Amino acid sequence: MAGQWTISRDRPHGEAETDLRATIGPEARSRRLRLRQLGRMRSPFVTVGKQPAGAAARRESSRLRGWWAVPLLAAMTAVAVLLALATYRFADRAVAVGQQAAKRVGGPLVIPAPRVAAGFPRRFGVISDPAALAIVSEFRQRFRAAGAALVSEARRDASPRAGGNPAAGSRIAASWTSGLYGEPGHLDPQTFRPSWIMYLGLDTTGILGRPSGTIASLMTRLLGPYSLVGPWPVAAGHRGGSANCMVAWLGQTSVSVCGWATDHTIGALVSPVRDTSVRELATLMIKMRFDLQRG
């Protein structure tokens, strides 16, 4: 039994029953048209006059980033400036603390000179080598004259600093010390005798002045009229004060000389250049001061 959708090929074209293509064709076309229109509404890429959603979001994000960039850069610059100022103040304070510490640790000299300084044993007895004796004798003479001049200047300047007390300068006392130290394992290439370092020191109960000026005055007097090289500043070490080194001519021998000064002490080391270079003596001076001067 045939329904209304039954197709009969033996019926002539144009009879009352509806042909299949005629029946479903308009509906299918209408459905496809509606689906196509619906697809155009949902697709952002075929809508005329409207920007894609992704592009709009990226443009908005870029606008926000541009708005935040300027204040963020300003904040970072301010932080960098504050860090630089804090670093400068910290460094300046560290230098000031270091200078104050240097004044505190620069104590009196050890008198008499210790038996061992920086591991070097002190040598006692008469100096038998004529060349070494000439160096030591001239070194003592120049150091004594330089120390006496510095003490005299300190006594002269003490009265105004003491508020006009005439007796203030006379109360400044001076103590002298010395020691000859050998360098174990080092031989003089000229005499084949053990190398040595001569030490002289002066300790006062008054103020000699600024260490930088005091050491400059001491080294100038030690240098003598026939100077070779110097003086120039070197590291003073943890005992504080100021230090200089130079090459001088003592007893017809080229010698290395290094000295230091605090507000109330001076000290100097000397050794032939052929035994101890200036650079070596500058390093040894820092080490020897741990034993030659109290902290």
Place of tokens 């860090």: 83
Q: Is residue 20 part of a domain?
A: no
| Closest by Cα among 281, 229, 280 to 260 | 281
Q: Is the pLDDT of residue 98 over 80?
A: no
In the DSSP assignment, the letter for residue 96 is H
Query: Residue 284 belongs to what domain range?
Result: 106-292
Distance CA 281, CA 117 (A): 13
Q: Is residue 67 part of a domain?
A: no
Q: Is the pLDDT of residue 138 over 70?
A: yes
Label residue 92 by pLDDT band (50, 70, 90).
Answer: very low
Q: Is residue 161 part of a domain?
A: yes
What is the chain's Cα-based Rg?
48
Number of domains in the chain: 1
Distance CA 151, CA 149 (A): 6
| Closest by Cα among 102, 107, 114, 120 to 291 | 114
Q: pTM of the predicted model, to two decimals?
A: 0.63
Contact 246, 257 (CB under 8 A): yes
**Mean per-residue pLDDT of the chain:** 78
Q: Is residue 43 part of a domain?
A: no
Region for residue 13 given its phi and psi (left: phi exceeds 0; alpha: psi -120 to 50; beta: otherwise): beta
Q: Is the pLDDT of residue 235 over 60?
A: yes
Label residue 114 by pLDDT band (50, 70, 90).
Answer: very high
Spatial strand order of the sheet with 265-272 comes to 116-117, 120-123, 174-187, 194-204, 265-272, 253-261, 242-250, 229-234
Distance CA 135, CA 59 (A): 87
Q: Is residue 150 part of a domain?
A: yes
Please provide the DSSP assignment of 72-93 as one string: HHHHHHHHHHHHHHHHHHHHHH
Q: Is residue 113 part of a domain?
A: yes
Q: Is residue 229 part of a domain?
A: yes
- The torsion angles phi and psi of 127, rounded to 5 degrees, stand at -80, 115
Which residues have C-beta within 8 Å of that of residue 127, sequence separation ≥ 6?
Answer: 133, 136, 180
The reported pLDDT for the residue numbered 75 is 78
What is the amino acid identity at position 74? A
Q: 73-79 — which CB contacts under 8 Å span 24+ positions?
A: none
Label residue 217 by pLDDT band (50, 70, 90).
Answer: very high
The reported pLDDT for the residue numbered 51 is 52
